[in-house]
Amino acid sequence: MSSSAAPAERVIGVGGVFFRASNPKALVSWYAEHLGVPVDDAGYVIFPDSRNTVWAPFADDTDYWPAAKQGMVNFTVRDLDAMLAQLRAAGTEVDERIEVMDGIGRFGWAVDPEGNRFELWEPASALLAAQ
């Protein structure tokens, strides 16, 4: 572990865990039936007691992250732009694209030293205030 000073921007939680599945809808249904996971109207498992953490299987052929990797973690941040700038300054590979979803928030992506793509989520102000 490095003994350097802590970064200015920090992750404030896990926004989601995403992984590949051969039949995502059936898998969500199985977990709902057998473990009681809460499924919203869009078919996502969202844990409201854990600051809206999402658990979501994706289709085997998803291109949302590299095919060589089984999954991707979504981290919650307060300031997406500052976090992305901090990562760029440290020499981290950062995707130039930012996605905005009304009522949900803003998303950006980067890659860790082992080639794992991760997602950064700045929740919409109403969601962030609840955290």
Q: What is the pLDDT of residues 81-92, one digit of tens each?
A: 999 999 999 899
Does pLDDT of 32 surpass 80? yes
Q: What is the pLDDT of residue 38?
A: 87
Q: Determine the Cα angle at 87 with ends 48 and 53, to 5°.
A: 10
H helices present in 4-124, as ranges: 24-35, 80-89
Does pLDDT of 130 surpass 60? no
- Residue 77 neighbours by CB under 8 Å, 6+ apart: 9, 10, 11, 12, 83, 120, 121, 122
- Cα separation, 8 vs 109, whole angstroms: 18
